[in-house]
Amino acid sequence: TGHVTLDPGFTNTASTTSAITYIDGDAGILRYRGYPIDELAEKASFLEVAYLLIHGELPSQAELDNFTDNVKRHTLLDEKFRAFFSAFPRRAHPMAVLSSAVSALSTFYQDSLDPFDAEQVERSSIRLIAKLPTIAAYAYKTSIGQPLLYPDNSLGYVENFLRMTFGLPTEPYEVDPEIVRILDMLFVLHADHEQNCSTSTVRLVGSSHANLFSSISAGVDALFGPLHGGANQAVLEMLEQIHTNGDDVESFVRRVKNKEPGVKLMGFGHRVYKNYDPRAAVVKKATRKALDLLGKPDPLLDLAMRLEEVALSDDYFVERKLYPNVDFYTGVIYKAMGFPTNAFTVLFALGRLPGWIAQWREMMSDPATKIGRPRQVYVGETERSYVDIKSR
Ligand code: CMC
């Protein structure tokens, strides 16, 4: 079988070539299709970035209009989905509902499952981008017992999502356009991050020629974990715990350094960034702005900033090159916007979706693609003879 290299966690093994996202972790650089992340965050809309990631180039106005119209045409869910949402317990975690719903999409749209039919792949991509906000909003509405709102296609992508999440059929929904812009920008920041755990999962599942819905559903599940997308929820829970316990920041950091079981500085550290995560820098600036706009000052923001300051001047974090990552500040914004803590990772998933789709499509159209099948180094028993149960 030849030589096999052991690389737990794939710290040093490239699983693919890719032309989508570039990261230089030492320099703190992130680019989508060559465009720096801070420029895209400032200037581009989420749907524009989705188009860029999937198709490789920024869309012309006509291309963007066409893409947007297409997405709008698919925002509705089959009415049978109502029964689907009501079948989950009230306290269901929205990430579990989301991954189940995405998986269930493949049962409704059997006309777009062929991974090698370009038209079908395009249709399932559009359906996912269009329906994920509806699914996310319905998971939330069901959990609080409020009526589900149909999408309003006169609204933009993010505003429509916010209305379906926070609106009521009895009242007009209004939201500050600057808040819409901030959430749109957060989606842009999350849109792709090359071969992270969930994206690699999407690719691995897709490499068996599973359909796009099934592959993305697996990606949602991978994102759920607290070391990955689930970190945004874990950060807020950590901040709340420090706040309610009245702990001081220094003693919490000391517990982290002592590696007390279960005590980590969530929202810090990254496999690839050994410098400030460029996304975190943008989020940090946006947090203050969002809290001001919403008129919701939050002691958790001051606590987070103090934690960052203490950590970044501490040898433990300096030596290990641990900096705040994208998840460190986002939760404070989501909370101010009114999202419950357990919905934070769903917001990450909405943002990451175009990246998953782009990576899956790049893989499917790459002639070098083979089924993903890691090798192992066997360390178990050598051959031995079966022992009858009476003699064990
Ligand atoms: N708090 C305390 N110590 C840490 C942390 C942290 N957040 N992150 C890493 N370390 C320590 C770790 O204990 C190890 O120390 P030592 O060399 O003494 O054993 C050293 O730093 C290297 O860490 P590692 O765990 O080997 O690094 P990794 O590349 O395997 O893990 C990570 C990366 C992101 C899983 C990890 O930093 C972590 O658990 N961070 C907290 C969770 C988090 O914020 N995740 C979000 C990541 S960014 C967005 C996303 O991908 O979803």
* Residue bearing tokens 């710290």: 11
- pLDDT on residue 40: 98
Q: Report residue 224 CA to chain centroid gap.
A: 8
Say whether 247 is catalytic.
no
Give the span between the Cα atoms of 392 and 387, in whole angstroms: 7
Q: What is the DSSP string of 321-337?
A: T--B-THHHHHHHHHHH
Pocket test of ligand 1: the residue of 196, 325, 330 to mutate, having most ligand atoms within 8 Å of its CB, is 325
Is the Cβ atom of 21 under 6 angstroms away from ligand 1? Answer: no
Pairing of strands 21-24, 29-32: antiparallel
Q: Are 50 and 122 in contact (CB under 8 A)?
A: no
**pTM to 2 decimal places:** 0.97
Q: Which domains does the chain have, with CATH numbers?
A: 15-224+351-364 (1.10.580.10), 231-337 (1.10.230.10)
Q: What is the dihedral of CA 316, 317, 318, 321, to 10 degrees?
A: 130
- pLDDT on residue 1: 53
Q: Are 158 and 164 in contact (CB under 8 A)?
A: no
Task: List, run by run, the mean pLDDT of 10-residue segments along the chain (392 residues).
Answer: 87 96 97 98 98 98 98 96 92 96 96 96 98 97 94 97 97 96 98 98 98 98 97 96 92 95 95 95 96 95 95 96 96 96 97 98 96 96 98 96
Pocket test of ligand 1: the residue of 320, 323, 330, 344 to mutate, having most ligand atoms within 8 Å of its CB, is 320
Is the Cβ atom of 229 under 6 angstroms away from ligand 1? Answer: yes
Closest CA to 328 of 238, 250, 261, 252: 238
- pLDDT on residue 304: 95
Q: Are 329 and 372 in contact (CB under 8 A)?
A: no
Q: Report residue 376 CA to chain centroid gap.
A: 29
Share of the chain residues as helix, strand and coil, in percent rounded to the nearest 5: 60, 5, 40
Q: What are the contacts of 157-164 at 24+ separation with CB within 8 A?
A: 157/45, 157/46, 157/47, 157/68, 157/71, 157/133, 157/184, 158/46, 158/183, 158/184, 158/187, 160/75, 160/133, 161/133, 161/136, 161/137, 161/350, 162/337, 164/133, 164/134, 164/137, 164/138
Q: What angle do CA 221, 226, 231 make, to 5 degrees?
A: 115
Q: How far is the CA of 6 from the centre of ligand 1 (A)?
A: 21
Q: Residues 190, 193, 228, 270: which is the catalytic one?
A: 270
What the block records as the tokens of 71 is: 């997405």
Q: How far is the CA of 315 from the centre of ligand 1 (A)?
A: 15
